[in-house]
Chains A and B, each alone.
Chain A
Amino acid sequence: MASMQEIKRRIKSVEATRKITKAMELVATSKLRKSRNQLEQLKPFYSNIQQIVAQILSGKRNVYDSKYLVANNVEKSAVIVIASSLGLCGGYNSNIFKLAKQTIKQTDLVYPIGTKASNFARKNYGDVNDEYAGLNTSIDYIQLTRLVSSLIRMYEKGEIGAIKILYTEFVNNITFVPHEITLLPVDPSDFDDVEVTNKDTLFEPNADEVLGKLIEMYLQASVYGYLVESITSENASRRTSMETATDNADELKENLLLKYNQARQTQITNEISEIVAGANAQ
């Protein structure tokens, strides 16, 4: 049996670790609340843009040959991969990387967001641009619009055939599902469910130009939404795993305390029997 001193030292170390995991849990909880609010705030912006895109698509059939809706037959795609910058968040990163390994081709251009994603991309793919790797900590909308606009320019020039994004959907506080979404070309059937009220809307200067500009804003809002949702998943995942770690620490401490008391009891019994033996000998 381990000595009392040794057990005591272990209890102290478990207590210290528990304090850290508990603190991380609290931090993740408050960050989770913040990113959920952000997601909430974005909703009206996103749904309004979606509504107008649906409006244009429903009213004017002739925009269906718009370059944003028809694939341009270029093999190469640009893929945005959203992961975290810090570890200790359960399976959040490994789940998204597992999906990435299945879906991203060697020829694709990878845009990692988060330092973990950037390390992953550099190790596995040749064509990596990590200019925007810090977006998951800054959550800067202006910087994000720059990323999306530059991708759209590349698509327009025919350098890439599609823009895809790998993100983690936030289902609820304990369920997160990684997904791959194709942002461009836009699939018009995505808008079939959106309710359209005014079918004969006037477009100025014309529907094509409005659609072009609108698609850009729509993609910016989508990518921002996916980014915020991934961050929400990350924080929720970290919160859950830190909660488990704290619970484990509690359990461990309880077991160690039991052992410590047992060791103490054994020592006392030994001492008593020694004293009794000594007294008897006299």
Chain B
Amino acid sequence: MGMWDCMTLETPAVAFVGIDKRFGAVHANRDISLTLAKGSIHGLIGENGAGKSTLANILYGYLSPDRGEIRIDGQPRRFSNPSEAIAAGIGMVHQHFMLVETFTVLENLILGDGSRSLREAKASALATLARLAKDHDLGVDPEAVVATLPVGLRQRVEIIKALHRGAQILILDEPTAVLTPAEAEGLFTLLRALKAEGRTVLLVTHKLKEIMAITDHVTVLRQGAVVGTVETRSSSPAELAELMIGRKPSPPRRELSAPGGAVLEVRNLRVTGGDGRTLLRDASLSVHAGEIVGIAGVAGNGQSELLGALAGLLRPGGGKVALLGQDITRLDGRERRGLGIGHIPEDRLRDGMIADMSATETGLLGRQHEPRFNRPLLLRRGFVLETVTGWMRDYDIRPPDPGRASASFSGGNQQKLVCAREMERKPALLLVGQPTRGVDIGAIEFIHDRLLRLRDAGAAILLVSVELDEIRALSDRILVMAGGSIVGELSPQEASDRTLGLLMAGMEAKPGTEAA
């Protein structure tokens, strides 16, 4: 009897037995054995590169293991492609959705459904939709075009699609990475309902909060191997974090800052969208030297527009921006960079790096005008290479190979590269958007520490994040945005979840009323 069988007396829904998988020199999964109890939610947690996705993809038939076997309901199975896994009752919701965006919900549901006729497929899809709407309150308009749906609904369509194919075992890969807190809560409610129906959920994530909130058991992977499987109830975030990174995480330093003069002053900044909607409404704020000002808010409440307008990427519809007393409202992005604005963008893959270029060339992005990187005609490539190599050493970017394609680094290492590039310019003002989105714990700690160090060195930092813990841990002052406006200012001590939540929801909560 294996050591995992003690978790349940029933035949487990899924058993991984000695799964081993290598990609060239990378040993992605090392002799992994674990079982998922039927009707449970099982968390799979680990840092980026720990082998979570590989294991999930093996279960879904994308990858085949080099050694080991998978048992579904006790039967050894071998999937050579996802279709076989789907036929065996396995469904997967990917981090990046696999939907045809120009199709309607219904069309996406019947895609690859295998019915004999279109009419039959449609009828059965509509039946599924009706049943799910009734049982789980999963109402989705079947005629809505996917591209027009918010992210949370798209994810719901993915789940519906898996259920429509008869998934008994549902794999979710980093499902909350793109969701607002409210959407995430909705997802959790749904997962609990699915569990109550006897379905099994494998939740792949690197967020401890989710693990604690919803899973029954959790398996921690580190460097491709299982370092422990525990009952969630009897564990703690601290214990799991330690298992994940192999040591105790150190809390970020929180010393009081001694702010200097105002670096950034914004008056009544306004941004209007292409459709005439006001996206940023008369925002006024200031950031001082040696200060981190955090902007809290649910994603999509004007934070991105604020960052864009300050970085010179969006043309403001009104208002005034001054940097160190100089009016920069009319300057473009390049000119603003020249005056000492650094910018860690919210979406590094979209804005912050060029995936197909080498790390060296991504390291030059936005800094290609700097005299130190240029000769009269040619770029000083040797010096750029030397500089980026230095960053890789100082920021512990792995693998330390500046010639490697930017896309082939893990999320945390990509983010560190972007951070190095923007921080090492010694900016007077650093604009920071979601600095730790999709980044593993080790890198989060590192980036937080660097932000605080930069603050202590006298930089003014404007931090936008949807992670309230991050805002609280780093900010000297907290501004809350809702509906395109700045609706309140709090000190980190005043910023309880409840106070922040009320402000973020656009409720009239006077700052400080709750602080006892």
Binding between chains A and B: no
